[in-house]
Amino acid sequence: MNKKLITILTIIVLLVSMLVPMTVVNAAQSTAKVSLKANKTTINSGTNGGEIEYQVIVECTESMSGVQVNLEIPEGMEMIVPAWKNEIDEFGEPVKNPDGSNKQVADSKPYLNQDIINRNFNEYDFVLDTGVITLTDQNPFKLAKDGKAVIATFKCKIKDTSKKADYEVKIAFAEVQDASSVAMPVETQADKVSVVVSATGLKLNKNATTIKAGSTETLTATVVPADAEDKVVWSSSDTNVATVNNGVVTAKTVGKTTITAKTENGKYSATCEVTVECAHTNTQTVLAKPSTCKEAGHAEYTKCVDCGKILSGSDAPLALAEHTYVLVPEVKAVHTQTELKNGVKEHYKCSVCGKLFDLNKKEVSEEALVIKAEHTVTNVKQLDEEYHEGTCSQCGLVVKEKHLGEPATCTEKAVCDVCKATYGEVDPENHVHTETRDAVEATVEKEGYTGDVYCLDCGKLVEKGTVIPKVVPEEKPTDPTKPETGDNIMIYVSLLAISLVSIVTFSKFKKRK
């Protein structure tokens, strides 16, 4: 290789080696940081327009001359261009441009920070169509005391918010070190906004179910539409009966509860009625018990100790057993002048329930089995108005007894059944023989009278009669096969007229002949 070519290559290498450090130095001198911030990260599906507001934020801790920002709006999203109106001066007149046209200003929130505009930058551009923001100054400056400022605000909207999607607005920015320098490229950033599908309904796989205590069952909640991202919140109306965790229902004790699934925003819900039944894990076998004449028995059965349900067999009462009859001999009555003691007839007695029966095994009372011991008095004579006496035909004892007989009437004293003597006083209210007088039967034309009741013995009016209302005549049912009286007359008249016409006609016919 000749010496001239080697010299040229050496010069090129030296130039390249000089350029690379310069680029690194210039890159190191970049002090600006530009970021993009959206006012929301998610939008519910169906939201009209899906409007999002973005802020372009510049941070700079050292002096710089300006910054250039390029916006990239993704497909499916568009920037909202504000309405414009005439700028009005302090006198209410439109402000004019140098060419004489009216100066226009945005009719909505300013798209650029007024503090930045008032810094009198020599070059300022914000083009909505291309999405380019350029901000430069002839002299180096700092944006704010804390080195951070919002230089621009803009809005975008999503064209179609009916389905789930992600949208990223990107910014590529460059710092201008001074008015004459070239903008230095800085890393591109993006801010993502997602369209979240909102629920329009909620369904459960069951609206009622039955679970054994101690068991679990999983309920499935389906949010409509299927791609909706709404979370489901679960609850139980009675956690003592059953609890629920993410759809898994745990039965605790016998009873009923309502499990509710609800979207997180509370707009949609569905319920399932849960009945918890006993699992019958704690059982007891009850042995058979035979019946007696006093108490019904039962067959062998198995029951749940917790809820008392009969699981097998039956606790239904069986028929009562027959009585156990024991013959009780007769006990004779004692009848002497010094002692009277009742006896007892021969009978049966049940050794289990103690009931009494006659010799035909028919249940009887204790009184029915008594053999009475009493004096049979003869040769009775009256002693006074209250007593009589006589001699017992069995033991010969002279017995004194009170008179006893039919009660007194309104005219007669009482008569003793034993000695036939009268005793006591008459009873003016006891009328034995009576008759009804002046009774009149009611008719259709006049009222009746029940009659007065008089005593035949003393003649006293015992009971006054009462008036009987007139008799209401019964309506006789009409016979549909028989004509009414008026109808009969019409029929007779008609027949008579027909007969007369026939006679006249026949007479004329006979004369002509």
Distance CA 236, CA 251 (A): 11
- Residue 65: other Cβ atoms inside 10 A: 22
Closest CA to 50 of 156, 149, 134: 156
Flag whether 480 is in a domain.
Answer: no
Cα distances (Å, whole numbers) of residue 486 to 22, 234, 475, 480, 481: 140, 86, 19, 14, 15
Residue 113 confidence (pLDDT)? 52
Tens-digit pLDDT string for the chain (513 aa)? 444 333 333 333 333 333 333 323 333 344 667 788 888 888 877 666 678 888 888 777 666 666 677 778 888 888 776 666 778 888 888 888 888 888 876 654 445 554 454 444 434 444 444 455 555 554 455 555 556 777 777 788 888 887 788 888 887 777 665 545 555 555 566 677 777 777 889 999 999 999 999 999 999 999 988 878 788 999 999 999 999 999 999 999 999 999 999 998 888 999 999 999 999 999 999 999 999 999 999 999 999 998 889 999 999 999 999 999 999 999 999 999 889 999 999 999 999 999 999 999 999 999 999 999 988 888 899 998 899 999 998 899 999 999 998 899 999 999 998 888 899 899 999 999 999 999 999 998 899 999 999 999 999 999 999 999 999 988 776 666 655 555 556 666 667 767 676 666 656 545 554
Q: In CATH, what number is assigned to the domain containing residue 164?
A: 2.60.40.10
Residue type, 24: V
Q: In CATH, what number is assigned to the domain containing residue 207?
A: 2.60.40.1080
Q: Is residue 209 located within the same domain as residue 309?
A: no
Beta bridge mates, 306: none
Q: Is residue 93 located within the same domain as residue 177?
A: yes
- Give residue for tokens 């089995």: 369
Contacts of 443 (CB under 8 A, 6+ apart): 470, 471
Cα distances (Å, whole numbers) of residue 61 to 112, 123, 143, 172: 21, 22, 8, 20
- Give residue for tokens 């290559």: 9
- Residue 159: other Cβ atoms inside 10 A: 11
- Residue 241 contacts residue 272 (beta carbons within 8 Å): no
Of 179, 196, 213, at which residue does a domain stop? 196
Q: Is residue 458 located within the same domain as residue 389?
A: no
Flag whether 505 is in a domain.
Answer: no
Q: Is residue 235 located within the same domain as residue 268?
A: yes
Q: Which segments within 111-245 are labelled E, that is strand?
A: 123-127, 132-141, 148-158, 165-176, 184-185, 189-196, 201-204, 208-212, 216-218, 221-224, 232-236, 242-245
- How many angstroms from the chain centroid is the CA of residue 92? 68
Flag whether 21 is in a domain.
Answer: no
Q: Is residue 205 located within the same domain as residue 192?
A: no
Q: Is residue 358 located within the same domain as residue 393?
A: no
Q: Is residue 62 located within the same domain as residue 89?
A: yes
Flag whether 3 is in a domain.
Answer: no
Distance CA 182, CA 186 (A): 13
Reduced to 3 states, what is the DSSP secondary structure of residue 14?
helix
Residue 256 confidence (pLDDT)? 95
Flag whether 364 is in a domain.
Answer: yes
Q: Is residue 66 located within the same domain as residue 139?
A: yes
- Residue 249 contacts residue 259 (beta carbons within 8 Å): yes
Q: What is the mean pLDDT of the chain?
A: 79
Reduced to 3 states, what is the DSSP secondary structure of residue 271?
strand
Residue 236 confidence (pLDDT)? 96
- Residue 133: other Cβ atoms inside 10 A: 24
How many structural domains is the chain composed of? 6
Q: Is residue 69 located within the same domain as residue 163?
A: yes
The tokens describing 288, both together, are 């058979």
Strand order across the beta sheet in which 51-60 lies: 32-38, 51-60, 148-158, 77-79
DSSP-derived letter for residue 117 is: H
Flag whether 411 is in a domain.
Answer: yes
Radius of gyration (Cα) for the chain, nearest Å?
A: 63
Q: Is residue 132 located within the same domain as residue 260?
A: no
- Residue 96 contacts residue 102 (beta carbons within 8 Å): yes
Distance CA 392, CA 397 (A): 5
Of 162, 196, 230, at which residue does a domain stop? 196
Residue 19 confidence (pLDDT)? 31
Burial pattern 24-63, b for ≥16 Cβ within 10 A else e, equals eeeeeebebbbebeeeeeebbbeeeebebebbbbbebeee
Q: Is residue 171 located within the same domain as residue 56?
A: yes
Residue 467 confidence (pLDDT)? 94
Flag whether 347 is in a domain.
Answer: yes
Flag whether 476 is in a domain.
Answer: no
Here the contacts of 275-278 (C-beta below 8 Å, separation 24 or greater) are 275/208, 275/209, 275/210, 275/211, 276/210, 276/211, 276/212, 276/213, 276/241, 276/242, 276/251, 276/252, 277/210, 277/211, 277/212, 277/213, 278/212, 278/213, 278/254, 278/304, 278/306, 278/307, 278/309
Beta bridge mates, 156: 52, 79
Q: Is residue 173 located within the same domain as residue 34?
A: yes
Residue 76 confidence (pLDDT)? 84
Structural domain that includes position 294: 283-313
Distance CA 407, CA 192 (A): 119
